[in-house]
Structure 1
Amino acid sequence: MTETIGIRFEVRGAAGIVTLDRPRALNAIDHAMVRAMHAALEGWIEDPAVTHVILRSAHERAFCVGGDVRHMVELGLAGRKEAARNYWRDEYALDHLISRYAKPFVSLVDGFCFGGGFGVSGHSRYRIAGENLAFAMPEVAIGLFPDVGATYVLPRLPGWSGTWLAMTGARIGMPDAMALGLYTHHVPIARWPALIDALAGGEPVERSLAQLAAYPPAPALIRLFPEIDRIFAGGSVDAILAALDHAATGEGEVADFARAQRDTLRRSSPTSVHITFQQMQRGLAHDLAGCLRLEFRLVSRLLDGHDFYEGVRAVLVDKDQNPHWRPARLEDVDPRAIADLIDQPLPDELVLT
């Protein structure tokens, strides 16, 4: 069955190999894939022949562009919100399992890695970036928010880079992702077969990576990191917008950057931008399980809202790129109401074991 649902499993020598293989959807992870992967990983924990696990994509263009949000919208519109919540419940449990996996877990990531793709790879012990990596957490554009543990990971990046990535959904390449610590090693994709062969042959991961890893190029954004820190250190969404407005008045690279970020924030769901800002403020106070619990509260409540459905419609279904948000402006969002979405417990909180 696993060969028909977009994910494959094999044991090659000492390595358990998970291959994402849903090319028409760029490996977007649906519920069947989540369940199958969780079951396989649980089984390999108990298998003494498997000494480490490798996660990869079967296709060059994308590692994984995220979770199957279109189906979550379909479920919500059909009155099946509990089925959508169960998807996120299981997805977050899978991400948590990977974060504490009992055997070395190696994620080979190249091409697009967005949203849920980072959930299944970004918490693994070894996060290997290929040269064509394109990383983003673009959920604010569809009325959602960076989830799958982004509340934990992004605030822990250097400076305020995580807040910038979360609030704008900015896409970065391998050199910047390596510089920020999102990935542990750069191995050129031409060397991936040798790495897989070495691990399948029982070689220790550290020894294999020492032989095959390469130094990444200098980060493309190196001159902008100080400006990102200055702007996104603001204590409110209003303060960040004011800093962007000020930086945008000049000329040159910084002004161009500031205008682009400001325009992105203004196009995105105002509710999502405010949620994301408050996520980043809270993330350092929680472990990964605590952050996933907060995220589950949010997805549960956004299923009762408007913007998630409208964002997916405008960006992924009709593709008119013209969402009508409610409320329509960042200035119309009440930060206290956003805090309640995050902080008020659910009757059935996410439980991770």
Structure 2
Amino acid sequence: MDGIGQPEAPYPPDGALPADGALPADGAPPADGEATAPPGKRRRIPWKRLALIGVVLITLGVFSLGVATGWALGSRSAGPSGETVTEVIAAPTDAAGGVPVLPDVRGLLLVDAQQAVVDAGLPVDVVETADAPSALAAGTVLRQDPVGGTTKVSKVTLYVSVPGAVPDLVGQTADDARTALLQLGAEFQQEQVFDPAAAEGTVLALDPAPGSPLTSMITVTVAGPAASIFLADLNPVEGGCSKDDTSINGTDFPNSLLCGASSYESTAAYLVDRVTTSLDMTVGISDDSDTDVSVRMVVLADGRPVASVDVGYGQSREISVPTSNVLRVEIQYSSTGEGSGRLALGNARVTGSPEGISSLDTQ
């Protein structure tokens, strides 16, 4: 058959037509000087050109990475100990075209505060710093002098927080302690306890204790108000004095005990359960008694006499008896005059902590 066993004809030289005069498959003769690839084969890009393209792409990538890294680190440099610190970049002092106004930089970190000052058109060398103990993060601007909004500034002092200690505020008022702690950046938590030896509102203790490292929360124990209850509202364990309104030497006492006095000694007793601190009252003869009556009264604490008083008609005596750690209070009384009348214990009351007073046995 045709073509079988025949050798393949060589590809014609560049620019020559095949012997039979046929054109290439695309129907167009090759351009002058253009090499024509053998049929069935693709043209290949020379390896030198590929290598050149690769080198260019790698160079562009390295350059881009360097630019990005330089931009990210452009405002940072290494400090003396190798740590990274932020530089303050000074702005032109006349950048605003007017008189520079000192900004309020309280609460900013020092480096940010310095940058805010120079951004406002002030030279960085006007800034001075001073340490201020505080519970806030170290390096925070607590206050400034002069204040923000000031113009024509030649110097500004920034008070910067440093670790501090809990101040000794024991004995001060709660309001003064609160002010002092807030100035140190610490929160104030108040607890109240009753202390008969301290005036109400006086600081008794701090937690953490004075001298300890300053923390963000300080618990302040303050002397709280005392509570009291009228003796007439307690259940007596002995005696027959009655609760009533009365007048003593012309003064009304709406919460009083009236005890009928005779020549025989009588006793009225009350349990105070070691939770009270004092017994206070006005002692006299009720104004509706005979004018010639007089009475002697003795107060006993757990059987020990702690106060005594003699009163006549038209007289009154104020007494205050300590009752700390006392279990039982007794009032002994008897008439020393000729007439008959009633011993009046005007507004007699015991005082103690709110918790202790609320635990007493009341009527």
TM-score (norm 1): 0.17
More helix per residue:
1
More strand per residue:
2
Which has more radius of gyration? 2
**Per chain length, whose mean CA-contact separation is higher, i.e. which structure has more relative contact order (CA < 8 Å, sep 6+)?**
1
TM-score (norm 2): 0.16
